[in-house]
């Protein structure tokens, strides 16, 4: 974690040392013995509804707050705040303690902010005091990047953990890939041993998706085959692949903006400009917005453009949760004869008899990446630390519950659980029987956090706006694009800017 220390600015560190995230814990961490829990409310905040939708809240209530249970009668309040507003809502209440939640979630860059503010309870000490838990054994069982990401760089203690890993892949339609590239001599035949979708995935990973330039070339080859086909729905799909195998941090060793990162951002901007067209006819992508109706529709058989033309999209860059929450509900469904099922023409009973076409593969891109991930945290100033810990424990350390929850295709950060789940798994129907657990666990082992900083979200948004304007021609030259970024940077974080050594600097 030495590099992470270097990424924290002196100004932020100074603020951290005087920040007060709640009352200091004294004596035993579990000091709730005199509390009448039937009069209390455990408050949980999150930027996602998954704790509710996946049954985690109900599981805690059934096992801890129901009649005859340890916290009988205690209410559980669950508050969802949109991701875009989450930090601006939660940081002030953590700072003052007024109305602060007992348990709250965060993504990786968010928990770095929590650590800077000294708002997190010592999860490590709680685990050590837990007689039902072997701390070292549990540590060894967690995927390394998840465990390391939860360590507070200021005191070296574990403060936060996630139950999941979220590495990504490029999901693609194998039948479209076969149509476009099947004539190449090395393309897998239907007679390959084992799983055909896996064989095609391996081939595409090695031959078509192995570099950023390769993705651009593949996009052109798809259009050359059929002018109404596109490799990706939009250019957001390549954003994970501009940094290469060893991503540069936004901040250099001097804790100022890193010129080497900006050089890779230039490559990204130029690639976006090459792929972009004002309309779908002259764009290398389907030119639809991420999360738009057409973006989802493209996961099925086809979608209609604004002009009424029918297009097909081959590939989507998505992480673990994208497979089962995003892709799976929207793939093409077929009947027993292999005919596409149309919900507008079939009855509910007929639709229920349809199954996924099974024409999706999952390939690695030019580099490993991860997207998202929900971390659990306990507020340092909470007066309900014991039930807070038990809620967190029910999601992180209750292996029976975690194995049960893993049945929804989520990929867990506990290696022992995933070893069992993967070995018993019969294959994903959407992926034609491929075992996505094996792929994702291999990718999770490749993930490094050396380049992560607390400024990532802000800097990526600033650069994203500039890159978007450049690709559309609203900013004419790359020199003007960087000038605009530097102007925005000096406004948002003047402490990170330096007057020499940056690309296209006046």
CATH code, domain carrying 393: 3.40.190.10
Matching residue, tokens 């006046």: 506
66 CB-contact burial (10 Å; exposed 0-12 / middle 13-18 / buried 19+): middle
* pLDDT confidence tier of residue 12, bands split at 50, 70 and 90: very low
| Residue-range definition of the domain harbouring residue 62 | 2-165+370-424
Tell me whether residue 435 is in a domain.
Answer: no
Torsion angle of alpha carbons 83, 247, 438, 320, nearest 10°? Answer: 10
Model confidence at 94, in pLDDT bands (50, 70, 90)? very high
Sequence-distant (≥ 6) Cβ neighbours of residue 41 within 8 angstroms = 74, 75, 76, 77
Does 198 fall in a domain? no
Q: What is the pLDDT of residue 14?
A: 31
Residue 407 lies in a domain: yes
CA distance 279 to 399: 50
DSSP string covering 124-173: HHHHHH-TT--HHHHHHHB-HHHHHHTB-TTT--B--EESB--BEEEEEE
Token pair listed for 112: 């770095």
**What's the mean pLDDT in 268-297?**
94
3-class SS string, 112-137: HHHHHHCCECCHHHHHHHCCCCCHHH
For residues 388 and 402, the answer to whether their CB atoms sit within 8 Å is no
Taking residues 195-200, what's their average pLDDT?
94
What pLDDT does residue 307 have? Answer: 83
Is residue 378 within 8 Å of residue 123, measured between CB atoms?
Answer: yes
Confidence of residue 143 (pLDDT cuts 50, 70, 90): very high
pTM (whole model) above 0.75: yes
Q: Is residue 186 a part of any domain in this protein?
A: no
Give the range among 22-26, 47-51, 229-233 with minimum mean pLDDT: 22-26
The pLDDT of 6-28, averaged and rounded, is 33
Of how many residues is the chain composed?
506
DSSP label of 280: G
Q: How many Cβ atoms from other residues are within 10 Å of residue 263's Cβ?
A: 12
Q: Where are the alpha helices (DSSP H) in 44-107?
A: 50-53, 56-60, 83-96
Q: Which residues of 128-137 are buried (b: 16+ CB within 10 A; e: fewer)?
A: eebeeeeeee
pLDDT class for 366, splitting at 50, 70, 90?
A: very high
Residue 191 CB-density burial (10 A; 0-12 exposed, 13-18 middle, 19+ buried):
exposed
pLDDT score, position 191: 67
Tell me the pLDDT band of 449, cut-offs 50, 70 and 90: confident
Window from 31-45, 55-69, 253-267, 308-322 with minimum mean pLDDT? 31-45
Residue 422 binned pLDDT confidence (cut-offs 50, 70, 90)? confident
Task: Please give the mean pLDDT across all residues of the chain.
Answer: 90
Lowest mean pLDDT among 15-24, 339-348, 435-444: 15-24
Better-predicted residue by pLDDT, 451 or 93: 93
What would the mean pLDDT of 411-439 be, rounded to a whole number? 91
**How many domains is the chain built from?**
1
Would you state the pLDDT for residue 403?
A: 85
Residue 20's pLDDT band (cuts 50, 70, 90): very low
Residue 307 maps to a domain: no
212-225 and 174-181 helices, crossing angle to 10°: 80
465 belongs to a structural domain = no
Quick count: other Cβ atoms within 10 Å of Cβ 140?
A: 12
Ranges 144-148, 171-175, 403-407: which has the least confidence = 403-407
343 pLDDT more than 60? yes
Whether residue 37 is contained in a domain is answered as yes
- 506 band by pLDDT with thresholds 50, 70 and 90: confident
Whether pLDDT at 4 is above 80: no
Distance CA 188, CA 193 (A): 10
Give burial (CB, 10 Å; 0-12/13-18/19+) of 51: buried
Query: Which range has the worst mean pLDDT, 154-168, 259-273, 339-353?
Result: 339-353
The stretch 431-457 carries a mean pLDDT of 89
Instruction: Give residue 16's pLDDT band: very low, low, confident or very high (50, 70, 90).
Output: very low
The stretch 201-226 carries a mean pLDDT of: 96
CA atoms of 36 and 72, how far apart (whole Å): 9
Q: How many Å apart are CA 47 and CA 49, to the nearest integer?
A: 7
| Residue 15's pLDDT band (cuts 50, 70, 90) | very low
Residue-level pLDDT at 30: 58
Model pLDDT, residue 189? 86
CA–CA gap between residue 383 and residue 100 (Å, rounded): 11
Residue 193 lies in a domain: no
User: What average pLDDT does the segment 378-384 reach?
Assistant: 97
Whether the per-residue pLDDT at 320 is higher than 60: the answer is: yes
């Amino acid at each position: 974690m030495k590099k992470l220390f270097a990424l924290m600015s002196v100004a932020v560190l100074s603020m951290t040392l005087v920040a007060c995230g709640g009352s200091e814990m004294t004596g035993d961490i579990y000091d709730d013995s005199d509390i009448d829990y039937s009069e209390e409310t455990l408050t949980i905040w999150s930027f996602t509804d998954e704790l509710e939708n996946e049954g985690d809240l109900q599981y805690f209530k059934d096992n801890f707050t129901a009649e005859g249970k340890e916290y009988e009668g205690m209410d559980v309040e669950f508050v969802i705040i949109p991701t875009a507003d989450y930090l601006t809502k939660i940081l002030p209440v953590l700072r003052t303690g007024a109305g602060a939640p007992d348990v709250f979630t965060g993504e990786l860059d968010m928990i770095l902010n929590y650590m800077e503010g000294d708002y997190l309870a010592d999860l490590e000490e709680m685990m050590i005091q837990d007689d039902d838990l072997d701390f070292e054994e549990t540590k060894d069982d967690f995927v390394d990047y998840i465990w390391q990401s939860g360590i507070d760089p200021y005191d070296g203690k574990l403060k936060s953990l996630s139950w999941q890993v979220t590495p990504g892949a490029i999901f693609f339609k194998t039948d479209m890939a076969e149509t476009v590239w099947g004539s190449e001599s090395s393309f897998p035949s239907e007679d390959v041993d084992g799983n055909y979708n896996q064989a095609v995935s391996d081939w595409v990973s090695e031959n078509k998706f192995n570099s950023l330039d390769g993705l651009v070339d593949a996009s052109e080859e798809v259009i050359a085959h059929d002018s109404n086909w596109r490799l990706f729905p939009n250019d957001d799909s390549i954003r994970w692949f501009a940094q290469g195998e060893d991503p540069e941090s936004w901040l250099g060793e001097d804790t100022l903006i890193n010129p080497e990162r900006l050089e890779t951002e230039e490559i990204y901007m130029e690639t976006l400009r090459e792929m972009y067209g004002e309309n779908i006819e002259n764009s290398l992508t389907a030119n639809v917005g991420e999360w738009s109706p057409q973006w989802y529709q493209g996961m099925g058989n086809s979608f209609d453009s604004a002009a009424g033309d029918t297009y097909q999209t081959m590939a989507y860059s998505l992480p673990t949760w994208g497979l089962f929450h995003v892709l799976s509900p929207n793939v093409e469904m077929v009947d027993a004869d292999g005919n596409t099922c149309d919900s507008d023409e079939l009855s509910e009973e007929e639709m229920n008899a349809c199954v996924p076409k099974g024409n999706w593969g999952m390939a690695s891109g030019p580099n490993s990446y991860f997207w998202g991930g929900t971390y659990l945290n306990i507020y340092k100033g909470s007066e309900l630390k014991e039930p807070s810990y038990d809620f967190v424990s029910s999601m992180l350390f209750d292996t029976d519950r975690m194995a049960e929850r893993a049945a929804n295709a989520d990929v867990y950060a506990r290696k022992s659980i995933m070893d069992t789940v993967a070995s018993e798994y019969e294959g994903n129907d959407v992926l034609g029987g491929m075992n996505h657990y094996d792929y994702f666990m291999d990718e999770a082992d490749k993930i490094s956090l050396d380049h992560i900083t607390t400024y990532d979200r802000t800097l990526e948004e600033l650069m994203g706006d500039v890159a978007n304007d450049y690709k559309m021609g609203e900013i004419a030259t790359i020199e003007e694009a960087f000038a605009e970024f530097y102007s925005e940077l000096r406004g948002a974080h003047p402490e990170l800017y330096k007057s020499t050594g940056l690309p296209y600097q006046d």
